[in-house]
Amino acid sequence: MDPSLEPLKARRLALQLRERIASGEIAPGSRLASEPALALEHGVSRVTVRRALDSLAAEGLIDRRVGAGTFVREAEAPKPIVADFANMLTHLVEMGRRTGVRLVSFGYGPPPEPVARALSLAAGERTQRSVRVRLIDGQPFSYLTTHVPERIGLTYSESDLASVPLLALLERAGAAVERASQTISATLASPDVADALGLEIGSPLLSLTRVVLGTDGRGVEHLHALYRPDRYSFQMELHRAGAAGDRRWSPVPSPGLNQDGEADSWPPSAAARS
């Protein structure tokens, strides 16, 4: 047997068991089959089974009790945050105060060319770049990389950004935020991001890129946000609109707001969760 295949087999088995636990097929509190039984069932070695169980234990999904066996833990994860696309920008600062933030890096320098182009920066214009990890109930759920034009970034300090939502700092600096353009997709966790979010390298993530514009049409913020999909999701209420023969889905403004949302979320009106 090729030893290099064992980690891949362990990863696959861990994913299979995780899916069975997440779906409820293996209920919380129930006892998993023994290592020899799992090895026989999945056609792998006991070493592979042990690696897979170690991975699940590290994620907090199972408890391994000496002399008793391996049991599925009762769910203790915080309720996932749901960002309502239909809510307005004025709620975002309060949302930020319901979550915590850890500032990973803070500095000034030339931005990547795509960022400079998106913000319509002048040649040679620098940005204030920061990386933050946002938490809910002490658990990380988002990895945020922001670029702000230096002329705005110089108005706040590293300590400001570690304690005040960026949106509030932008408005304090006199940046009249008017609209934004954003794209949502999916990606895989790099080593740095995986470590910051408590995931394995290559874990799936929600990816959001947003460019915020002021009333003068100039860019005031470029955000690249990565979210753990088990702790954050996007939601939009829709209704059927239009005349017969031209019916389509349109967003419905929500009267309420989940106050535990992401501080930097922008609710666009032209996207829906599939």
pLDDT tens-place string over residues 218-239:
899 999 999 998 887 777 778 7
Predicted confidence at residue 227, as pLDDT, reads: 92
Q: Tell me the average pLDDT across 64-72.
A: 89
The whole-number pLDDT of residue 263 equals 38
pLDDT over 70, % of the chain: 80
Residue 47: pLDDT band (50, 70, 90) is very high
Write down the pLDDT at residue 243. 77
Query: Mapped to the 3 state alphabet, what secondary structure does the chain carry?
Result: CCHHHHHHHHHHHHHHHHHHHHHCCCCCCCECCCHHHHHHHHCCCHHHHHHHHHHHHHCCCEEEECCCEEEECCCCCCCCEEEECCCCHHHHHHHHCCCEEEEEEEEEECCCHHHHHHCCCCCCCCEEEEEEEEEECCEEEEEEEEEEEHHHHCCCCHHHHHHCCHHHHHHHCCCCEEEEEEEEEEEECCHHHHHHHCCCCCCEEEEEEEEEEECCCCEEEEEEEEECCCCEEEECCEEEECCCCCCEEEECCCCCCCCCCCCCCCCCCCCCCC
Residue, of 23 and 79, whose pLDDT is higher = 23
Asked which of 20-29, 137-146, 231-240 is least confident by mean pLDDT, the reply is 231-240
Determine the average pLDDT of the residues in 19-46.
87
Segment 169-177 mean pLDDT: 86
Q: How confident is the model at residue 5 (pLDDT cuts 50, 70, 90)?
A: low
Mean pLDDT of 255-269: 35
The mean per-residue pLDDT over the stretch 109-125 comes to: 93
**pLDDT beyond 60 at 101:** yes
pLDDT greater than 70 at residue 132: yes
pLDDT digits (tens, 9 = 90+) for 175-221: 888 888 888 899 999 989 999 999 888 889 999 999 999 888 889 99
Interval 74-86: pLDDT, tens: 765 455 555 554 4
The pLDDT score that the predictor gives to residue 12 is 86
Largest CA distance in the chain: 68
Prediction pTM value = 0.64
- Nearest-angstrom CA–CA distance, 55 and 58: 5
